[in-house]
Amino acid sequence: MNSLWVLLWWVVILVLGYWVYASHVAKRVFEVDPNRATPAKMYMDGVDFMPTNKNVLFGFQLNSIAGAAPIIGPIVALQWGWVPALLWLGLGVFFIGWVQDFSSAMVSIRNDGDTFGALGYKLISPRARKILLTFVYFYLLLIACAFGHVITKGISHNAALPFPLLVVIAVAFLVGHMIYKAKTNIIVTTILAIALIFFSIWLGTVWNIKLSYNLVLICVLIFGYFSSILPVWRFIQPYNYSSVYVVYFGIIAGVIGILIGHKPMTLPAFTAWGTKIGPLWPLLFVTIACGAISGWHSLVSSTATSRQIENELDVRPVAGGAMFAEFTISIIAVIVCATAFADKAEYVKNLKNPVGIFVGGLGGAITSIGLPVSYAKALAGMMIIILALTIVNLVFRFMKVATAELLGDAIGIAKNPHLATIVALIITWVLVKTGTWLYVWVLFGGANQLMAGFALLLVTLYLVQKAKPYNYAMYPMFFMYVTTVCALFYTSFFKLIPAAMAGKKVFGNLFAAAVAILLIILALILAYDGWKAFKRLKSGEAGEPAEAAKAEA
């Protein structure tokens, strides 16, 4: 089948999802009101609460939610075939993905811009905040491990990438210095940065540097350490700023390449109900997280975006629109990878290195616009590694804060940023070195989707409290909760523990299984508290949980 037919599915989901279903929910369920004052207007403090143009916020939201996961998830899930992947992407974003992003922002807006911690405390139970924090810490750890491996494998298998990546890092420091210290014009700085990066990609294709897996892993962890410790303006921000143009160019060139090349889908449409990582349900639904539905988005929507929304009418284009844009990125990933290989065997051979699959796919599409193969492949490799490094950049920083928040009161030294970062780096190193990547990826997807389940639980409780129709959030919440808990349970008890018992990567597999079991326990506690809160709110007690009222008294 020609790959252009896949775009028809994309159009159907986009039109029906965004313009019909989302519009209906915004009007009928949340009753968005352009005249209602948003927290950005009511509590404007010039920093966190600030009314912002919807187009700017759309770009900000998309940049904050879209990393490498909407690309890597579909690549891994192609082992079930591209039809199940496309079906889940489309139906997931239609019924659950945008619902979560949009509703999280709306619930936060209607609660004075409260974040999930505060909302969990108010709507579920006082311990919900602590549970959420513990959950987020291990969720971040799984992100660090999953992406740490992707980056390391990608760089160590592609000798064209180390040189331009070193240049990108050097350019980040240069851009930071030029903007903030030397006060150089931003346009001059940007042109210089873009020229240096794109030239270095070409130089990388002629000047190959082969690095070992272990060396690259250590370099990635050192990168994570400096991202966590250095001031944001010195490294993270200029890195994100200067590298975003590579991603821009890669996506635009890829889309044009798909349209020009319109190659046939060469991978099988459907392979089998069960694959190496497990059965289609529940595993496919956690393997593809971002692109269909992702809990990470709810954190962004309820923390940063909800406090900058100028008008309630903007929430659908900003939060919902960004989710559909990310869905588009996943569709591109499916097309380029399902058209890149001659047969399934070649694809499966490369499965341990998803970056390699993407490089072959997107690189092939970019050559359709006339770029040389070596340059196109290096550009595609740079794009995905940059996206993954952007996530690593943030994750260790957040883990440092979460450590201080979790343990800071009990153990004073946990507040030390260097120590907290080094502990996070060591745990990551251990899990990357000793774990099985495919299972770690599944656990990351499970944790991410479970986070979405929490978000939908909060939305459901809010709608119950306000006596509004809540089914559109409750059914997706049940689906996400059951699917993710089953996926975590299956992976830990049917894959990780048996593998460890058979003497295969004993420590890593047992450690990953322990993390999965911990996440399941936390999810069940929160589900129990959520059920009690549901009954309380349904019976008309609109106030805070009894424990919270007692604690405040």
Segment 397 to 436, residues that bind another protein, using CB under 8 A: 397-398, 401-402, 405
Size of the site for another protein (CB under 8 A): 46
Spatial contact of 377 and 265, defined as CB atoms under 8 Å apart: no
Alpha helices in 181-320 (DSSP H): 186-206, 213-229, 236-261, 280-287, 295-303, 315
Residues 238-277 binding another protein (CB under 8 A) are 240-241, 244-245, 248
Check residue 313 for interaction with another protein (CB under 8 A).
no
By CB under 8 A, residue 552 contacts another protein = no
Interaction between residue 34 and another protein (CB under 8 A): no
* Cβ distance to another protein smaller for residue 46 or 412: 46
Q: What is the spatial distance between Cα 390 and Cα 476, in angstroms, rounded to a whole number? A: 30
Here's the x/- map for another protein, 97-116, by CB under 8 A: it reads as: ------------------xx
Instruction: Reduce the DSSP state of residue 275 to 3 states and report it.
Output: strand
Write down the least CB distance from residue 479 to another protein, Å: 24
> Binding of another protein at residue 229 (CB under 8 A)?
no
Applying CB under 8 A, does 53 fall inside the site for another protein?
yes
Beta strand 278-279 with 274-275 is antiparallel
User: What residue type is assigned to position 358 of the chain?
Assistant: F
- Give the residue with the Cβ less far from another protein, 205 or 228: 228
At closest approach, how far in Å is the CB of 511 from another protein?
Answer: 24
The only residue of 23, 52, 374, 434 in contact with another protein, by rule CB under 8 A: 52
Nearer to another protein, 115 or 374 (CB): 115
The least CB distance from residue 244 to another protein, in Å, is 5
One of 10, 18, 26, 64 touching another protein (CB under 8 A): 64
- Residue 489: CB minimum distance to another protein, A: 27
Q: Decide whether 48 or 346 has the Cβ nearer to another protein.
A: 48
Q: Does 63 bind another protein (CB under 8 A)?
A: yes
Q: Which is nearer to another protein, 303 or 483 (CB)?
A: 303
Q: Token digits for 191?
A: 């042109």
Handedness of CA 539, 542, 543, 548 (dihedral sign): positive
- Distances in Å between the Cα of 121 and the Cα atoms of 236, 257, 271, 526 are 32, 49, 45, 11
- Interacting span for another protein (CB under 8 A) from 141-149, 166-174, 395-403, 513-521: 395-403
Residues 487, 407: contact at Cβ < 8 Å?
no
Contact set for another protein, span 430-489 (CB under 8 A): none
| One character per residue 149-188, x = contact with another protein (rule: CB under 8 A) | ----------------------------------------
d(CA 139, CA 141): 5
Lookup: tokens for 324: 């559909």
DSSP codes, 299-322? HHHHHTGGGTBSSGGGHIIIIIHH
Spell 289-327 as b/e; 16+ CB within 10 A means b: bbbbbbbbbbbbbbbbbbbbbbbbebbbbbbbbbbbbbb
Q: Return the structure tokens found at 64.
A: 């904050």
Q: Whole-number minimum distance, CB 456 to another protein, in Å?
A: 17
Stretch that binds another protein, among 9-17, 300-308, 330-338, 428-436 (CB under 8 A): 300-308
Is residue 51 close enough to count as binding another protein by CB under 8 A?
A: no
- Judged by CB, which is closer to another protein: 282, or 295? 295
Q: d(Cα 81, Cα 90) in Å, to the nearest integer?
A: 15
58 C-beta neighbours (distance < 10 Å), count: 18
Minimum CB separation of residue 290 from another protein in Å reads 16
Q: Could you say which of 43, 202, 226, 475 contacts another protein (CB under 8 A)?
A: 43
- Between CA 483 and CA 168 the distance in angstroms is 40
Q: Is 279 helix (H, G, I), strand (E, B) or coil?
A: strand
| 36 CB-side CA count, 13 A | 16
Cα dihedral: 109, 114, 116, 119 (round 10): -100
Q: Is there binding between residue 304 and another protein (CB under 8 A)? A: yes
Nearer to another protein, 231 or 498 (CB): 231
Which residue among 18, 58, 82, 138 contacts another protein (CB under 8 A)? 58
309 near another protein, rule: CB under 8 A:
no
The single residue among 62, 159, 369, 419 that binds another protein, judged by CB under 8 A, is 62
Q: Interacting stretch for another protein, rule CB under 8 A, among 141-149, 230-238, 376-384, 497-505?
A: 230-238
| Distance between CA atoms of residues 313 and 463, nearest Å | 19
In terms of DSSP H, where are the helices of 20-125? 22-24, 39-42, 54-65, 69-77, 82-92, 98-110, 116-123
For the bound state, the minimum distance from the C-beta of residue 499 to another protein, rounded and expressed in Å, comes to 34
| Residue reference for tokens 């505060």 | 118
Q: Helix (H, G, I), strand (E, B), or coil: what is residue 545?
A: coil
In the complex, minimum distance from the CB of residue 322 to another protein, in angstroms, rounded to a whole number: 10
- Taking CA atoms, 409 is separated from 137, 421, 425, in Å, by 16, 17, 22
Side chain identity at residue 392, one-letter code: V
Please give the structure tokens belonging to residue 490: 């299956």
Choices 53-61, 255-263, 415-423, 533-541 (CB under 8 A): range interacting with another protein: 53-61
Q: Are 37 and 113 contacting, i.e. CB atoms less than 8 angstroms apart?
A: no
Cα separation of 314 and 159, whole Å? 45
Using rule CB under 8 A, residue 55 touches another protein? yes
The b-or-e profile of 379-401 (16+ CB within 10 A means b, else e) is bbbbbbbbbbbbbbbbbbbbbbe
Q: Exactly one of 9, 21, 60, 226 binds another protein (CB under 8 A); which one?
A: 60
Cβ nearer to another protein, comparing 236 with 338:
236
117 sits near another protein (criterion: CB under 8 A): yes
Length of the chain, in residues: 553
Check residue 59 for interaction with another protein (CB under 8 A): yes
Q: Tell the smallest beta-carbon distance from residue 405 to another protein (Å).
A: 4
List contacts with another protein (CB under 8 A). 43-50, 52-53, 55-64, 115-118, 129, 133, 136, 232-233, 237, 240-241, 244-245, 248, 299-300, 302-304, 394, 397-398, 401-402, 405
